[in-house]
Amino acid sequence: MPAEIIDGKAFAADLRGKVAGHVARLKADHGITPGLAVVLVGEDPASQVYVRNKGRQTVEAGMASFEHKLPADVPADELYALIERLNADPKVHGILCQFPVPDHLSESEIVARIDPAKDVDGLHILNIGRLASGQDAMAPCTPLGCLMLLRDHLGPLSGMNAVVIGRSNLVGKPMAQLLLGDSCTVTIAHSRTRDIEEVVRRADIVVAAVGRPEMVTGDWIKPGATVIDVGINRIDAPERGAGKTRLVGDCQFESCAQVAGAITPVPGGVGPMTIACLLANTVTACCRAHGLLEPEGITA
Amino acid sequence: MPAEIIDGKAFAADLRGKVAGHVARLKADHGITPGLAVVLVGEDPASQVYVRNKGRQTVEAGMASFEHKLPADVPADELYALIERLNADPKVHGILCQFPVPDHLSESEIVARIDPAKDVDGLHILNIGRLASGQDAMAPCTPLGCLMLLRDHLGPLSGMNAVVIGRSNLVGKPMAQLLLGDSCTVTIAHSRTRDIEEVVRRADIVVAAVGRPEMVTGDWIKPGATVIDVGINRIDAPERGAGKTRLVGDCQFESCAQVAGAITPVPGGVGPMTIACLLANTVTACCRAHGLLEPEGITA
């Protein structure tokens, strides 16, 4: 029986709609407009596309979007001064700096300077610590998006066996924390894991976040399991013509979909959730900044 | 074949010896004496015993011990002012406040005021975040002690299946982070875990930290596995006479020892490691504060 396809694009659109509803209520009831500031250093074409998409979706949700573009050779001090201004600006509830940044800048130094309450990417060490100790945190957008898809598809996750493949600070580790927070029995598998196929085969929930094209094949999957594929890998696609490429996940879609109960495609699965969760985090940060109840259904 | 008994008391004595050696070198080579400040609020008898033991072992290792006893009704502000002074005192490299504290005080507020660099209990949110993201942290003493026992008994842990039973912020969660840092495949099991016996039976390494007397029985254990029992539970022992009690772990020692390859007893296993690791953390904090290389073999 082929798996149900989890439509991340549709779910993300729905989430953005919910966010827009919360934004409208914040404006109507409290006269507050949530604002997201995005800092872009340099002219990396992919980053420019991301930043443009973020800005567009921010505005579409009724929020204020502040874009700050700095030259590739901006001195670190100037960037830090900008972050200080954004930290102090009451119209700004979320701040993110688009990565990667040029080599003379340090991503960790940049993140450390963002007010943790405005760290809507969930990268600040305080937010990592809060997430790891079960306190209210800003959860990183990609794992938060995966969690939302899982909750939507499965209902309460309590007691389910979840295997997270990959232990990156950006996805694998916070994903494990979020699943543990929802009372899954969580296993973190990684490059040193022995008999990884067997480990994955026990999982009711598989989250693959390793960045290795099509590593997970159908014979790794327990029949009926829910598979969330975080990987976005570009591989050669000579069948489409000379020099052509295509995007694949960390899971071999065709074989996994034959066994899984549900699976996210790549593209169109987890990917669209990331920006939607960024908007959701900005609304959450805005509510916290104003001492308002956090909106339902858009946080961890 | 009965399991090897892991002698935590002997290992802790050995670790304290190593710490004393590092302290002697810090004095001889750099004229630095590591110092540990312990704050005790009120007159809880058990806490008084702990604090006395900590002070004695600190001095025996050649370190400076600073004990601050405050009355049970000390205003929070006075306690915070003391912590501020200790944070600023260059002779103090480690600070801990003995918990529990009286009800009018907040443990989390106290911990938040300790300089993370001096937080030798590893409880500050910054240290939790650092541990959770694989950075240099102060690791909490009890899980650090478990890790040391495991490394000593098993050598490199990479690739081993580790199951941590319990997801407390004090033990279970940081234990999982430490085992992941040593490249184990880590599963966190807890009260919502289904078929927990089966989950535990897959483990090469079992760390039990739930606080339920003798919950884990021999039939849960994979033959040859290494069992670390963090639980310290006092139960009635009528066989010893009316009103008598005894200490047991979270594992039923007799049955587990029939199956395991090695096991820590209770008492005399993990317990003695905690203070030894506190001293080790203080030396680590001292070396970091002075920009010196961290001593080998006493950190995570």
Residues B153 and B266 in one domain: yes
In sign, the C-alpha dihedral spanning A207, A211, A213, A216 is negative
Name the pTM for this structure.
Answer: 0.97
Annotated binding site of B: 166-168, 232
Residue A182 token pair: 């929802």
B244-272 tens-digit pLDDT: 999 999 999 999 999 999 999 999 999 99
Residues B112 and B148 in one domain: no
Mean pLDDT, chain A, integer = 97
Which pLDDT score, from 0 to 100, does residue A296 have?
85
Residue A288: inside a domain, yes or no?
Answer: no
Residues A264 and A187 in one domain: yes
Residue A98: inside a domain, yes or no?
Answer: yes
A186 close contact with B: CB closer than 8 A:
yes
From the CB of residue B67, how many other CB atoms can be counted at a distance below 10 Å?
A: 15
Determine, for residues A192 and B185 on separate chains, whether the beta-carbon distance falls below 8 Å: yes
A125 close contact with B: CB closer than 8 A:
yes
Has the ipTM of the complex gone over 0.85?
yes
- CA dist., res. B132 & res. A190, Å (int): 16
B54 tagged catalytic: yes
B247 close contact with A: CB closer than 8 A:
no
Determine, for residues A190 and B169 on separate chains, whether the beta-carbon distance falls below 8 Å: no
How does DSSP classify residue A292?
A: P
Query: Nearest CB to A185: which of B128, B132, B199?
Result: B199
Query: Nearest CB to B167: which of A129, A167, A180?
Result: A180
Enclosing domain of residue A80: 30-116
How many domains does the structure of chain A reveal?
Answer: 2
How far is the alpha carbon of B33 from chain A, nearest alpha carbon, in Å?
31
Residues A150 and A112 in one domain: no
Residue B123: inside a domain, yes or no?
Answer: no
Residue B286: inside a domain, yes or no?
Answer: no
Residues B91 and B164 in one domain: no
Q: Taking 80 as the threshold, does the pLDDT of residue B67 lie above it?
A: yes
CA of A168: which chain B residue's CA is closest? B133
Residues B198 and B105 in one domain: no
How far is the alpha carbon of A185 from chain B, nearest alpha carbon, in Å?
5
Band the pLDDT of A300: cuts 50, 70, 90. confident
Residues B151 and B233 in one domain: yes
Determine, for residues A133 and B130 on separate chains, whether the beta-carbon distance falls below 8 Å: no
Residues A60 and A163 in one domain: no
Residue B231: inside a domain, yes or no?
Answer: yes
Which pLDDT score, from 0 to 100, does residue A1 have?
61
B222 tagged catalytic: no
Q: Taking 90 as the threshold, does the pLDDT of residue B300 lie above it?
A: no
Q: Taking 90 as the threshold, does the pLDDT of residue A231 lie above it?
A: yes
B156 close contact with A: CB closer than 8 A:
no
Catalytic residue among B57, B115, B118, B121: B121
| Residue with tokens 């696609």, as numbered in its chain | A237
Q: Which of B126, B169, B186, B199 to mutate to test the interface with A (most CBs of A within 10 A)?
A: B186
CATH number at residue A82: 3.40.50.10860
Band the pLDDT of B1: cuts 50, 70, 90. low
Q: Taking 70 as the threshold, does the pLDDT of residue B109 lie above it?
A: yes
Mean pLDDT, chain B, integer = 97
Determine, for residues A129 and B125 on separate chains, whether the beta-carbon distance falls below 8 Å: yes
Residue A199 token pair: 């480990």
B188-247 tens-digit pLDDT: 999 999 999 999 999 999 999 999 999 999 999 999 999 999 999 999 999 999 999 999
Q: Which residues of A touch B180 (CB under 8 A)?
A: 167, 173, 188
